Chains A and B, each alone.
Chain A
Amino acid sequence: MTKYIFKRVILAVITLLIIVFVLFVLVRVMPGNPFPSERMSAEQIANKRIELGLDKPVLVQFWDYLTKLLHGDFGKGTSLYNGAPIKTVLSTCVSNSFRIGGLAILIGTAVGLLLGITAALNRGRFLDGFCTVFSIIGVCVPSYVFLIFLQYYFSYRIPFFPYFFDPGRFLFSAVLPSVSLSLFSMSTVARFTRNEMVEVMDSDYVRLAESKGIYGPRLVRRHVLRNALIPIVTVIAPLIVDLLTGALVVEKIYGINGIGKLMVDAISGEGVDYNYVLALGILYSSLYIGIMLVVDVLYGILDPRIRVSAKGDA
């Protein structure tokens, strides 16, 4: 098992390094000149280039960037926030986004599991149908559309929740964005849990457990849920990643100072801020790869068969 985890971690680090390198090169070979040539003389530009290290070979520049990166230094923005250090801007944004995203995943998974289990236990009855309809709507309508409606009805028509995000009252103003963000994961988890549960409940070993005299909550807890939950781990991971994308628009709509809004600002403004694109690209990629890594390892722990087949591969 240790060997399996070790191998996965090494692979993830190599992948991340490759991605960071490609991103770096892409951003550096950008057409265009970072200095306003009409206001600076050729000599000034040359000095500035030496000062910023732009005269060195790309590989040396990459190494410099990487060493800075490992010390947590992302450099400075070119146009956003008057060139403030990215690190300071990023820390506030990351904390806002992570708290709201975490809340959304928590609500989505908890309610989704509950809905799925209820539906599976009431198969073919009203609750089951309700759960199906709910999950279809949740999957078909983007999260930001839910937020637009929630905002319109509960902040504008009935001014109960704040219309825009207010960091002073975090929990109160986080309700609408996290609920709307959670709906997609909620419906996916609910649908998946229901189908997995139904499949497990029809299996031979559950019938055996029943014939041994185990029934009710004990049967569900010990024999059905344990086996049904394993594949659900794999759905939750891509959902977290989807959440990142969804959060982009949700943060823009609700005026949340998060990484999503930062990304929108970086790419959709008049000029594109390369350094932010680079920093956020690295952040998103490492998050994504990290989540995938955790899921792979978790899956290996939960289901020994995966480990065995992975060993066979190598």
Chain B
Amino acid sequence: MEQVNIMPNAYVPTAGDFEFLSRQDINVDRNFASQGYWKGVAIHFFRNRRAVVGLVIVVLITVLAILGPILSAYGYKEIISVTNDAGKQITAGSISPQLPGLFGSENINPLFADKTFLFGTDTVGRDLWTRTWFGARVSLIIAFVTIIIDMIIGMSYGLISGYYGGMTDNTMQRFVEIANSVPRLVIVSVLAIFLPKGMGLVIVALLLTEWIGMSKIARAEMLKLKEQEYVLASRTLGAGNFRIIFGQILPNTIGPIITQVMFSIPTAIFTEAFLSFVGVGIVLPQCSIGSLIEDGFNNITTLPYQILPPIIVLALLMLGFNFIGDGLREALAPKLEDM
């Protein structure tokens, strides 16, 4: 019997239709099922180019802040001087930055020809390389110490306020509202009445202001988490309030809080720089980023190079911490499109 072609123009598939057009079109499903929470966060964080750049910058500056003053031949408050032929002490004041064989070595006083000052020296003859990294160290220590203490205070405050709710929460939040309505500047100025100028003033000022942001975040997280089943389970098994707050819920709020820490550290560095610049912060011969900027500013018309190292370090630190904070925030709450 003759076969009747009922569809004369029908498409006849060939073998080629069943092959992949090109291998790139294949979407491979990555399997995230078996990895832990923190591993996932780390993967997201390190895949973010900006966050990695931030991390590298911060680590580099921290290492230099630790090693810079140690490796340097001079102390941070040492006034460098040599004795000339006439037996007179000559201080190495106001030397321009120099790198042997590259720049700055031409018009140097022959007495200091055997010494190298990468960032130059300040007006009284202290090595700016040492001072810059020592200043960075002071600023970083102030920022880290205060922010960690603020984290502990703010976190406990927010968690307790959110957990108990009701009257406790109301009273505690009214207090936060009032504390939050006092400008930082006013706190600093009142502190300046009571405390001597110096590092202590900066630290107390930061301690009094930075915890508020942390407490707000901790409270919001607590409100989200306290109705969860594992809390109920824990309570049913007989866990006390203290244990539930700090043992069970706290570990689950740590992500957003660490992100807040990363954003608070640049604020702390900024505030320290600002206070030292105004003259109520670090006092000579100690130095910090802020006091170095002030020094540089005072001599800007005659020695404009002096202001550059502290400003660059400050800007890089701000940049680094902000990038890390952004990266962490995205890594902790990845959107679907980023997967």
Contact = CB atoms under 8 A, between A and B. Distances in A.
B270 A266 contact: no
B269 to A, nearest CB: 10
A8 B177 CA distance: 12
Contacts of A252: 278
Interface string A2-19: 000000000100011011
Contacts of A137: 315
B193 A30 contact: yes
A281 B278 contact: no
Nearest to A14: B178
Interface string B190-201: 101110010000
Contact of B315 (A140, A152, A277): A140
Contacts of A26: 190, 193-194
Interface string B305-318: 00100010011001
A148 B190 contact: no
14 contacts: A11-B177, A26-B193, A27-B190, A140-B315, A140-B322, A145-B315, A244-B183, A245-B274, A249-B278, A280-B186, A284-B183, A284-B186, A285-B183, A288-B181
Count class of interface residues, chain B: 20 to 34
B245 interface: no
A100 B277 CA distance: 21
Given A249-B274, A267-B192, A140 B182 contact: no
A229 interface: no
A141 B311 contact: yes
Contacts of B186: 19, 23, 280-281, 284-285
B183 A145 contact: no
B307 to A, nearest CB: 7
Contacts of B82: none
Contacts of A144: 277
B109 interface: no
A249 B190 contact: no
Contact of B184 (A23, A245, A253): A245
A203 B11 CA distance: 41
Contacts of B184: 245
Given A19-B178, A23-B190, A281-B186, 14 more contacts: A15-B177, A19-B181, A140-B319, A142-B270, A152-B300, A152-B304, A267-B189, A267-B280, A277-B192, A280-B189, A285-B183, A288-B181, A288-B183, A292-B181
Nearest to A292: B181
A89 interface: no
Contacts of B307: 148
Interface string A269-282: 00010100100110
Given A148-B297, A281-B190, A18 B178 contact: yes
A264 B300 contact: no
Main secondary structure of the interface of A (DSSP, over half): helix
B135 to A, nearest CB: 15
A301 interface: no
Main secondary structure of the interface of B (DSSP, over half): helix
Nearest to A281: B186
A245 B189 CA distance: 12
Given A142-B273, A152-B304, A285 B182 contact: yes
Contacts of B151: none
B111 interface: no
A275 to B, nearest CB: 11
A40 interface: no
Contacts of B315: 137, 140-141, 145
B188 interface: yes
A289 B311 CA distance: 33
A269 to B, nearest CB: 9
Given A15-B177, A139-B318, A140-B319, A266 B189 contact: yes
B274 A263 contact: no
A233 B106 CA distance: 56
A136 B270 CA distance: 15
Interface in B39-81: none
Interface centre among A145, A152, A267, A268 (most CB of B within 10 A): A267
Given A268-B280, A288-B181, A281 B189 contact: yes
B279 interface: yes
B301 interface: yes
B293 interface: yes
A19 B182 contact: yes
A289 B181 contact: yes
A249 B197 CA distance: 17
B185 interface: yes
Interface string B277-290: 11110000000000
B300 A148 contact: yes
B189 A277 contact: yes
Nearest to A280: B189
A248 interface: yes
Contacts of B311: 141, 145
Interface string A232-259: 0000000001001100110011000000
